[in-house]
Amino acid sequence: MSATSAVNLQTRTTRETVSVHRHQGDRRDHVHRSVGSKTTLPPQWNLVQRRAPVQDHGNARRNVDHHARGVGAQVLDRRVHGLNLTGGKNDAVPESQPRIDPVLGTTVHIVGGRQSRPNLPDNRSATVCPFCVGGLEAPAPYETRWFVNRWPAMDGDRCEVILYSPDHDASFASLGVDGIGRVIDLWTERTETLGARDDVDFVLVFENRGASIGATISHPHGQIYAYDHVPQRSARLLGPNGWAPTADERLVVVGNDTMTAAVPLAPVYPVAVTIAPRLRVGRLNELGGTARRDLASILADVLDRLDRLHGEPIPYMLWVNQRPFTAGFEDAWLNIEIVSPWRAANLPRYIAAAEIGAGEYFNPVVPEDLVVRLRELRD
């Protein structure tokens, strides 16, 4: 019997029950499993134990239209109970399955279903864009919009798409303070709504901008992932003795009354800027009206400087670090990280073998030099 056949047989014959117990005063769940004599999957895969998902998320759950127009409708029809039933695939493996490396402890989400998602990173035609008004994901006019991702990285309606603007050719920076403010408002609402779910401990808002970064559709948009645990990096940044704004003025690029933007002391990427409130705030919903507008203003400023740094729009990754929805993170400090692999125009710095192999990085751009260049790009 082949290894694949053995796994399939083991999966079919496994008996498993899940019971969830909650510690008083702590939203972390402990999942205990009682199984038969055969394991579900080989033990060396060391699968992550996940929270039992809630059954109804109200407005967050969308009835998927299996007669949907456009790319991917056939793939959607093949999804049954979270399994990838595409011909030639191993049906014993769910489309989204977290595993932990048994030695390094690295969490890897196996997401075979995302191989079939649409890929239009260089699309300049609004007539075929699913995010433009009248498209598959935007049937009615909007200013900002969210919807559940049809090609999620995690099961259970944990992945959402955020549309910044109906303007196909806009960018986050070009929206201006008012437009960015509307996006922040939607970030805030979706963070709190997702975080209120019993099976969510951490919400990550993020954007991948540019085909070279991995954006599969060019229309301005971001995403949100709602995790049933707090990822390791986020836990270190937001936990006790975690991240706080730098006190080194040599690293500060710009600031306003309530916000500051600085280059990190030891950035992995050639271009890196972190934006944060001057006073400790844990999540976006804790920002008052003035502070939220100041955040929109400094985001517009920093993104504009980054687009002018090399004389053309820069590919970047942006994410929002917010206090998790579980105990132990009372001292978390809200911040937004923006990084780009470009060390010069159209010249990316690739993270290569020695860095991945050793876990230590070699950045050719001196952070203090980047600060000077960004300061000089003020209006």
Contact 251, 371 (CB under 8 A): yes
Torsions phi, psi of 5, nearest 5?
-65, -40
pLDDT in tens, 134-160: 999 999 999 999 999 998 999 999 999
Window from 11-25, 206-220, 248-262, 265-279 with minimum mean pLDDT: 11-25
Opening angle at CA 193, ends 187 and 198, nearest 5: 135
Query: Furthest-apart CA pair in the chain: how many Å?
Result: 69
Structural domains of the chain ordered from first start: 3-45 (no CATH), 122-376 (3.30.428.10)
Taking residues 301-318, what's their average pLDDT? Answer: 97
Question: What pTM value is reported for the model?
Answer: 0.76
Residue 178: strand, helix, or coil: helix
pLDDT digits 0-9 by tens, 204-262: 999 999 988 878 888 999 999 999 999 999 999 999 999 999 999 999 999 999 999 99
What local confidence, expressed as pLDDT, does residue 276 receive? 98
What pLDDT does 118 receive? 67
Residue 366 CB contacts under 8 Å (≥ 6 apart), including other chains: none
Sign of CA dihedral 250, 254, 259, 265: negative
Looking at residue 86, its amino acid is T
Asked if residue 268 has pLDDT above 80, the reply is yes
- Which pLDDT score is estimated for 113? 78
Q: Which tokens sit at 220?
A: 């301005």
- Rounded to an integer, the average pLDDT of 357-369 is 97
Percent of the chain with pLDDT over 70: 72
Q: Stretch 291-302: mean pLDDT, rounded?
A: 98
pLDDT tens for 170-207 read 999 999 999 999 999 999 999 999 999 999 999 999 99
Separation in Å, CA 73 to CA 49, 78, 128, 139, 216: 31, 9, 15, 16, 17
Using CA atoms of 45, 49, 55, 59 in order, give the dihedral in degrees to the nearest 10: -90
How far apart CA 317 and CA 214 sit, in angstroms, is 10
Q: How many CB atoms lie within 10 A of CB 97?
A: 19
Rounded CA Rg of the chain:
22
Question: DSSP readout, 153-167?
Answer: SSTTT-EEEEE--S-
- The per-residue b/e assignment along 252-264, b for 16 or more CB within 10 angstroms, e otherwise, is bbbbbebbbbbbb
- 3-class DSSP state for residue 225? strand
Question: Measured between alpha carbons, how far is 304 from 298 in angstroms, rounded to an integer?
Answer: 10
